[in-house]
Each structure stands twice: as C-alpha cells, then as structure tokens.
Amino acid sequence: MSLQLTSQQVWENVAKNSFAVLGVVTANDEPRTVGIVYVVDDHKLYIGAEKTAWKTKHIEGNPHVSVTVPIPKRVPLMPWIKVPAATITFSGTAKILEKQDVGAELLEELYRHDEGRGRWCAIEVTPAKDFITYGVGVSLLTMRSPAKSRSRAPVATR
C-alpha cells in the first residue's frame, strides 16, 4: 500500500525548498540536467537565468522539462549517518520570460542584487499531470519500504 499525499501537501514541500534538478533536452535530442534555485509563485516555479545560458537555449528549442526536488533527510543527533534524500518529481512546460514580464516582487526574490540584472531572464515552469514522490511525509524507517514510501498526487490543487 503506497502513501497517499494531497496536492497541497506536495506543493507545501516544494515551496519549503529552493533547490532542484531541471531536466531539459538539447537540439540533438540529448537529455541534460542542471541544478537550479527556484521560487514558487501561484503553483509555478520561477528560475533566474542568463539569457545566454545553455538551459535557456535548450528550453527555447524544446519547452518540455522535468524537475526533481531533493528533500534532505537526516537522523536526529547523528548527522554523520548518510540517508537518501526524499524526492518530488514532475514534468512540465517551461517558457522564457523577460524581466518586464515578471512582477517586481518575484523579480526581487529571484535577483536579490542589481548587478547583472540586464543580462538575466526568468524561466517559468508550469507542472503538469502528477507529482511522483518518494519518502515525502514518511519516517526514515518507512523509507526502507518502497511500497510505503511512494506516492502520486495530481499537480492541480483547485
């Protein structure tokens, strides 16, 4: 029996974190991944990027992406014990936004300094279909059982 998480529970976990791995496809149909820092706003992820960055160019060529949010797990009072991270994975569609297309408040969260803002843009990722999770909302001992640690929840909360 797998765990049943709600969309809202998964979104809360996504919003509590800020690091993820973004999967894109190159012009030669080769998969690539890159670590990113993101901000959540209105059930979308926003990523700051240089207009000339590879991830930006790949998204311009193919907007279909995947995102995996690792959620660190630790044994209380024994941080030296290595524990696999819990994960939230989803697919979605990305689009490149110019600075003027992003609200001032969101822009401030993405870029906390003015230096280089002229060369930057934002990547908006809209998740689709389902979140697939592992180890989210379960204890470390429960994570040893894949059947009890997996969950799937629809992206939509409305």
CATH class held by domain 7-154? mainly beta
Environment class of residue 82 by beta-carbon count within 10 Å: exposed (0-12), middle (13-18) or buried (19+)?
Answer: exposed
Confidence of residue 116 (pLDDT cuts 50, 70, 90): low
Q: Which of 124, 123, 127, 125 is nearest to 53 (CA)?
A: 123
Q: Is the pTM here over 0.95, yes or no?
A: no
Structure confidence at residue 100 (pLDDT)? 82
pLDDT in tens, 70-96: 999 988 888 888 889 999 999 999 999
DSSP-derived 3-state class of residue 60: helix
Q: Which of 55, 37, 34, 54 is nearest to 46 (CA)?
A: 37
Residue type, 8: Q
What is the rounded CA–CA span in Å between residue 47 and residue 56?
10
**Assigned token pair, 105:** 């408040």
Residue 46: pLDDT over 90: yes
Hey, what's the torsion of the CAs at 92, 96, 98, 99, to 10 degrees?
50
Domain ranges of the chain: 7-154
Average pLDDT of the residues of the chain: 91
